[in-house]
Amino acid sequence: MNTPVNPESSAAIPSLKPGADAWALGIAGLLPFVAGAAGLWLLPPEWGGLAALALLTYAAVIVSFLGGIHWGLAMPMTPTRRGLLIWGVLPSLLAWAGMLLNSVWGLLLMAASLLLCYIVDCKIYRPLRLGGWLGLRALLTFVAVLSCLAGAAAFLAQG
């Protein structure tokens, strides 16, 4: 049965929270971020291009994924919230732009995009009873942003 979602009527209902599987999978999803950033610092310079591409590509995929969540949130709503659909596309466009830039600027754009996605989620999740997910999102965003910044810094340090 399709039930219309009305965020304003759910104030008294407790927030949904991620379970152990979501935490484990979320943390596992950080491995490419950490490995890419570490690779840029620790691997020989001839491997730097591959490590940068791996980190930038994965960050772009995750930014796109974070936008896509908003389409999933909008789909069961009656009427559909246009703002969720619009926002759902913007992270993918930012990710695409990041892939067109060089590694330093691309990683900086992905760091900013990840942070922007978290800020938007903080505003949108709570009224939808998803505020309980923000703790996990904060941790994942922190590590992902730090990894992108560390990767960009490795390029700058190499001159």
Instruction: Judge whether 67 lies within some domain.
Output: yes
Return the C-alpha torsion angle 96, 137, 51, 58, nearest 10.
-40
**Dist. CA 60–CA 113, nearest whole Å:** 9
| Contact residues for 44 (Cβ-Cβ < 8 A; gap 6+) | none
Instruction: Judge whether 2 lies within some domain.
Output: no
Instruction: Judge whether 120 lies within some domain.
Output: yes
pLDDT one digit per residue (tens) for the chain, 159 residues:
344 455 555 455 778 999 999 999 999 999 999 999 999 999 998 998 999 999 999 999 999 999 999 999 999 988 888 999 999 999 999 999 999 999 999 999 999 999 999 999 999 999 999 999 999 999 999 999 999 999 999 989 987
**Dist. CA 56–CA 149, nearest whole Å:** 11
- Indicate the DSSP class of residue 151: H
Q: Which residue has the tokens 């491997």?
A: 47
pTM, two decimals, is 0.89
Instruction: Judge whether 107 lies within some domain.
Output: yes
Instruction: Judge whether 9 lies within some domain.
Output: no
What total of structural domains would you count in the chain? 1
Q: Give the range of the structural domain holding residue 66, as residue numbers without chain letter.
A: 20-158
